[in-house]
Amino acid sequence: MAAISKFLSQVTLFQDLDAEAVSKLAPFLTNKNFSAGSVIFRELEDSDALYIVEQGSVVVSKHVRDDVDIVLTRFHSGNFFGEMGLFDTAPRSATANVEVDSLLWRLDRADFHHIFSHHPDIAAKICYRLVNIFIERLRATNEQTRDAIRWGLEATGYSPSGTHALFGRKST
């Protein structure tokens, strides 16, 4: 249990927790080894857990059409993904594949709700950190979206003089 507690204390999501809080959280996590090429979850499957990468690499992708998927991001040691599953029962919004052999820790929604009920101080610190990370990820997504629109406009030869309106600015 000491090894998992040491690892968890280095994960950004849990950076606001002291050693005692991390030791209370650790028993709720389960670990699993995944081989390269394994699917952790698929887009549209039930969503019910968060995953933390201790070792390895995970690729998260979104299906576009037919046999085309677009890579959204990669997660490495200390990163987490699938956090919407802690709060929302909507289906998964993307697919998570193991890029290289990986060791992941899983926190189920039911266990997270138990933490909320029995350790609200720990839950509050985790939620505060989640909100900050959501904000960072949303800002990055906004930048990627803006760049994709700009690249799309350039690729189609769309006139730059009319693009200001597309980005919420008035043309002068």
- Residue 157: band (very low, low, confident or very high) from pLDDT cuts 50, 70, 90: confident
- Residue 167: band (very low, low, confident or very high) from pLDDT cuts 50, 70, 90: low
Beta bridge partners, 69, equal 63
Comparing 168 with 15, the larger pLDDT belongs to: 15
* CA distances from residue 32 to 76, 83, 87 in whole angstroms, order as listed: 15, 17, 22
- Residue 4: band (very low, low, confident or very high) from pLDDT cuts 50, 70, 90: confident
50-78 burial, b for 16+ CB within 10 Å, e for fewer? bbbbbebbbbbbeeeeeeebeebeebeee
Nearest-10 crossing angle of helices 109-118, 120-156: 130
Residue 43 lies inside a defined structural domain of this protein = yes
Residue 165 lies inside a defined structural domain of this protein = no
With 90 as the cut, is the pLDDT of residue 144 above it? no
Residue 76 lies inside a defined structural domain of this protein = yes
Residue 100 lies inside a defined structural domain of this protein = yes
Residue 121 lies inside a defined structural domain of this protein = yes
Beta bridge partners, 96, equal 41, 60
Residue 31 lies inside a defined structural domain of this protein = yes
Per-residue pLDDT at 93? 92
Residue 167 lies inside a defined structural domain of this protein = no
Q: Which domain holds residue 141?
A: 2-158
Encode pLDDT of 21-63 as tens digits. 999 999 999 999 999 999 999 999 999 999 999 999 999 999 9
Q: How many distinct structural domains can be found in the chain?
A: 1
Q: In a 3-state reduction of DSSP, which class is residue 119?
A: coil
Per-residue pLDDT at 148? 77
**Joined tokens for residue 160:** 């730059």
Residue 92 lies inside a defined structural domain of this protein = yes
- Residue 7: band (very low, low, confident or very high) from pLDDT cuts 50, 70, 90: very high
The CATH number covering residue 30 comes to 2.60.120.10
